Amino acid sequence: MKERLKALTRELMLIPGLSGHEGRVRRYLKGALDDLGLMSRTDRLGNLIATIPGAEDAPSVMLFAHMDQLGLIVRKIEASGLIRAERLGGVPEKALPAHEVLLCVGEGRDVRGLIANKSHHATAQDEKYRVLPYPELFIDTGLGSAADVIAAGINVGTPIVYAPNFVELGGDRIAGTSIDDRAACAVMLEVARALDEVDTHPTVHLVFSVLEEFNLRGAVTAAQALNPDVAIQLDLILATDTPDMAARGDVRLGGGPAMSLYSFHGRGTLNGVIPHPAMVKLFEDAAQDAGLPLQRSAHVGALTDLSYVQLVGDGVAAIDIGFPMRYSHSALESCDVGDLVGLVTLCVEAIRRIDANFSLDRDDYP
């Protein structure tokens, strides 16, 4: 499974799909679901949904990961042909200059460009340690006038992403663009494949969601339509095993899958997830029985769309499960394929345990 999962992750990382422009990723995933014999549908927002029917007396499950990625949007084309961009999502400004980007005009017509970094020879001492806010940055496509840029199909509103990239590092480590959250999309396909071999399981709705990096609410329309009892969200868990992250926890790359016990974001969004105790116990028991490590994370500062999905209907029993990842939102994120394999096994083990006796009653838990 490891090699297949790595290849699948690689393919998904190389497909551009800025928030609101997920079409290419969705078409790939739809094809992959077709190959697994799973019918799928796309809702009006763009979420791709496939249902694997199961035991009707068991709570239903929505398993989801987001297809979209963060990036930039063309804001203005200068007369010189240089491009100013607006940000879309949590773009790390200090990691933008000197990166190659892709302006997504259309399949086969995309235009390569770079985010300019001022010539070092002309950089004054006080500029050396200053991070430029994104409005001060510009993108150079090599096209020398606004007319040439427009003739290439670029206009205000054109999506821009990091040039898709996949790097094999030592051991099982990989790096590149949009491991967040294409690695989880690949994991979901493997979970779907594995569930086919499981005798009894609940009804599982696979949702590949849109707009997570934009407004965190794309998955909500899918949840409203499906009305699941349980929601399991698959995304990165912040790895803390580098010197700059050491005080934040003990989540390490290669240490196995992880679950979030607490997430919160107060700036504007004011949301977060404290997982349902039934879900915490479910994943702890599943990990123990499968002989898998299960790392634990509790952080302020990051959110997923699960924050909104948990609020649908009478409330959804929710948990964030994921793979440790380093360097989030940069053009070179990194994870360990072994953790992705562990995440597949963990998800299948947990889901198969959800039967008619699985209680979501709060009072059944301490």
Where do contacts with Zn ion occur on this chain (CB under 5 A)? 180-181, 235
Q: Kindly state the smallest distance separating residue 182's Cβ from Zn ion, in Å.
A: 9
Residue with smaller CB distance to Zn ion, 233 or 345: 233
Known catalytic residue: 349?
no
Q: Which helix (H) or strand (E) holds 260?
A: strand 258-265
What's the min distance (Å) between Cβ of 213 and Zn ion? 7
Closest alpha carbon to 305 in 186, 223, 203: 223
Are 212 and 19 contacting, i.e. CB atoms less than 8 angstroms apart? yes
What are residue 264's phi and psi, to 5 degrees? -160, 145
**Token pair for 333:** 């994120």
- Of 118, 108, 16, whose CA–CA distance to 69 is shortest? 16
- Identify the CA nearest to 256 among candidates 225, 226, 288, 231: 288
- The minimum distance between CB 56 and Zn ion, in angstroms, equals 32
- Paired with 117 in beta bridges are none
In the complex, the smallest distance separating the C-beta of residue 181 from Zn ion, rounded to whole angstroms, is 4
From 22, 212, 213, 333, the catalytic residue: 212
Which residue, 180 or 336, has its beta carbon nearer to Zn ion? 180
Nearest distance, CB of residue 19 and Zn ion, angstroms? 11
Q: CB–CB of 96/85 below 8 Å?
A: no
Using DSSP, state whether 176 is helix, strand or coil: strand
Least distance in angstroms from the C-beta of 87 to Zn ion: 16
Rounded-to-integer distance, Cα 254 and Cα 334, Å: 11
The residues pairing with 41 across neighbouring beta strands, listed in sequence order, are: 49
Query: Which of 113/272 has CB closer to Zn ion?
Result: 272
Output 60 or 304, the one with its CB closest to Zn ion. Answer: 304
110 or 333, CB closer to Zn ion? Answer: 333
Cβ closest to Zn ion, residue 22 vs residue 235: 235
Where helices occur in the chain by DSSP H, the ranges are: 2-13, 23-35, 146-151, 179-195, 212-215, 218-226, 277-290, 306-309, 337-352
Which residue numbers are catalytic?
212
